[in-house]
Amino acid sequence: MRSLSVLILEDNAFQLMALHQMLNANQVFSVLTASSVEAAKESLANRGGVDIAICDLQMDGPDGLSLIRFLAASRQARAVIILSSNDRSVLDGAAHLAREQGLWVLGSLQKPASATALRELLESYQECVQCECEQVPATQVALRLSQEDVRPFAPGQGVGDTAPLDQWIAHFQPKVSLDGTLLGAEALVRWQHPRHGLLAPDSFIEAVEYAGFIEPLTWHMLELALQLSVRVQRERGKPLPVAVNIPPSMIEQEHFAAQVLALLARFGLPASVLTLEVVESPALQVSTVHLEGLLRLRMQGCHLSIDDFGTGASNIQRLLQLPFSELKIPAAFVRCMAADGRKSAVVAGALIMARKMNLNVVVEGVETDCDYRAVQALGRPTVQGHFIARPMAEADLLRWIKQRESVELRSTHALADR
Ligand code: C2E
Ligand code: CA
């Protein structure tokens, strides 16, 4: 274990000594101790920041929450462990508050702290640092385009000789099973902007929605995804299952299902190659007519996926209303799951529910070996994330598939030769 530096804030002398000894027993010898928030701040000022701060919540005078606020502002601890004799809900609330302030919370310990629980938290810190999956704040979106920027996409407004739709390109991110078998790819839009270069959807999708052009974009993406599927069929004999993001407003349209089936027929593909990923929206109005359309899509074999499951206002209710066949667990619940028992509880709960409802589960945003192993320990969902592959242009994906196949083939031959 790399040698760690730890600050303990604890005003009970006996418990302070016990924690100190437990740290020493885990080969942690660089330990700052403080029996008040003032003393903790002074120690940090004199000796510099620490890897981990263990914060007791209840103190005479300023309490552990004020040290947490100080640490969030000063960045003098890389991670914190919350300590308290209060019940679980207080510990969880304090952990949530610390995370909201941008701190990496390793976990919480109920007093008296158990040596095993402390060792596990120290180990998870080491693991996460090694695989760099600690909770860093999300990167900022560099550019946000306005409605005016997307105006050239109004139907019928070509720019010069190039149809603007051509600037919307699809990148594809593979989805695999836990044993590595390729199960399909999600189409993710990019804008090849003439001035700004290649843009990710965060910089323009809202503007496209507000400007009312999300529909042509979605049909364009459906075409690009089905094109890829046909291309893979031509090269490898089997169409590649593809998933496309569908705004809820399109699900509300009466003829949506029939148009999707007509598009599949035009490409000569079975409906089972297509998954429609719908982000839950409280505003989604589904009447019996639309429900009938969605059911027809499902009856033909299309898959219907609830995207970003667990983040919408009412999506368990929506899960019961609509004929979903899949749910996607977003990256926010997966990142550094191994070090956060609450996240693994959410993911494990979603997996149990999905199994009982006969739903496929896709775990998104798996970035590191640490996340991957944590997912593996909970079940056998489909996995998508940078750990497998980043979204890539069609040609790169075709190369990626070919390379994987040749590696698989070589290992099969090696096994057969033994
Ligand atoms: P989403 O549908 O949840 O797509 C997953 C996002 O997570 C993608 O971001 C993907 O690049 C990113 N991602 C995948 N694996 C990882 C990982 O391991 N770590 C991290 N940090 N991120 C990962 P992207 O492509 O920027 O798309 C963002 C969102 O924009 C999508 O979220 C989706 O809601 C929307 N979007 C993308 N393409 C389309 C589209 O064609 N139509 C519509 N309506 N929305 C789209
Ligand atoms: Ca999606």
pLDDT, tens digit, for every residue of 245-289? 999 889 888 889 999 999 999 999 999 999 999 987 777 777 787
**Higher-pLDDT residue of 321, 200:** 200
Report the range out of 105-119, 213-227, 299-313 with the highest average pLDDT: 213-227
Please give the single-letter amino acid code of residue 403: Q
Residue 308, CA distances (Å) to 13, 155, 186, 272 in order: 46, 30, 14, 22
Q: Is 185 in the pocket of ligand 1 (CB under 6 A)?
A: no
Residue 134 — very low, low, confident or very high, per pLDDT cuts 50/70/90?
Answer: very low
Instruction: State whether the beta carbon of 201 lies less than 6 angstroms from ligand 1.
Output: yes
Can 10 be counted among the known catalytic residues? no
Order of all β-strands in the sheet with 77-84: 30-34, 5-9, 50-56, 77-84, 105-110
Is the pLDDT higher at 304 or at 147?
304
How confident is the model at residue 146, as a pLDDT?
Answer: 67
The more confidently predicted of residues 101 and 69 is 69
Query: Which ligand 1 atom lies nearest to the CA of residue 201?
Result: 30
Per-residue pLDDT, averaged over 132-152, amounts to: 53
Q: Tell whether the torsion through CA atoms of 125, 130, 131 and 132 is positive or negative.
A: positive
Contact 33, 59 (CB under 8 A): no
d(CA 351, CA 338): 16
**Residue to mutate (ligand 1; options 188, 209, 335, 371; most atoms within 8 A of CB):** 188
DSSP letter (8 states) at residue 329: E
- Quick one: average pLDDT of 361-376? 90
Residue 128 pLDDT greater than 50, yes or no: yes
Q: Is the beta carbon of 307 within 6 A of some atom in ligand 1?
A: yes
The predicted structure's pLDDT at residue 25:
92
Q: Which ligand is nearest to the CA of 334?
A: 1
- Is pTM beyond 0.75? Reply is no
The residue from 364, 367, 394, 408 that is catalytic is 364
Averaged over 202-224, what is the pLDDT?
A: 90
Query: Mean pLDDT in the chain?
Result: 85
Nearest to 257 by CA among 310, 295, 221, 285: 295
Which atom of ligand 1 sits closest to the CA of residue 391? 11
What proportion of the chain, given as a percentage, has pLDDT over 90? 44
Q: Which residue has the higher pLDDT, 332 or 243?
A: 243
DSSP 84: E
Whether the per-residue pLDDT at 410 is higher than 80: the answer is no
Q: Which long-range contacts (CB under 8 A, 24 or more apart) does 351-357 make?
A: 351/378, 351/379, 351/381, 354/327, 354/381, 355/379, 357/319
Burial class of residue 39, CB neighbours in 10 A (0-12, 13-18, 19+):
middle
Domains of the chain as residue ranges with CATH:
5-131 (3.40.50.2300), 151-411 (3.20.20.450)
CA angle 393, 390, 246 (to 5 degrees): 70
Identify the band that residue 206 occupies on the pLDDT scale cut at 50, 70 and 90.
Answer: confident
**Mean of pLDDT values over 161-166:** 60
